[in-house]
C-alpha cells in the first residue's frame, strides 16, 4: 500500500499516511482540521542483484559486462 505525504495549509504540519490507491485523498489536517494538500515526493531506484549491469540501458550500444561469460542476463 502506498504512503502519501500531506502538508497542512494552516499549521504547516507535514505528515505521511498509508492509504490504498482507491481511497480519496485526505482533506483535513488531523492536528487543526484545516485543509491539507498532498505532496508528491521523489522516488529512487536501487538496482540489486545480478544482471542489472547488462540490462539497465536502452541505448543501441551494449555496455561491457565484466562477467559476460557467467552473466544470466547476457547469456539467456
State pLDDT tens for residues 16-53. Answer: 999 998 999 999 999 999 999 999 877 777 777 666 66
C-alpha cell at position 21: 490507491
CA distance 6 to 9: 10
- pLDDT cut 70: percent of the chain above it: 67
Among residues 13, 45, 7, 48, the alpha carbon closest in space to that of 25 is found at 7
Query: Above 70 in pLDDT, residue 64?
Result: no
Query: Above 80 in pLDDT, residue 5?
Result: yes
Residues pairing with 16 in the sheet: 5
Domain positions in the chain are 3-39, 48-76
Q: Which long-range contacts (CB under 8 A, 24 or more apart) does 31-36 make?
A: 32/8, 34/8, 34/9, 34/10, 35/8, 35/9, 35/10, 36/6, 36/7, 36/8, 36/9
pTM exceeding the 0.85 threshold for the entire prediction: no
Amino acid at each position: 500500500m502506498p504512503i502519501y505525504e500531506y502538508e497542512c495549509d494552516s499549521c504547516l504540519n507535514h505528515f505521511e499516511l498509508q492509504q490504498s490507491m482507491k481511497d480519496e485523498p485526505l482533506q483535513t489536517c488531523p492536528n487543526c482540521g484545516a485543509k491539507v494538500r498532498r505532496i508528491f515526493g521523489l522516488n529512487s531506484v536501487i538496482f540489486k542483484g545480478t544482471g542489472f549491469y547488462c540490462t539497465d540501458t536502452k541505448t543501441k550500444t551494449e555496455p561491457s559486462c565484466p562477467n559476460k561469460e557467467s552473466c544470466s542476463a547476457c547469456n539467456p
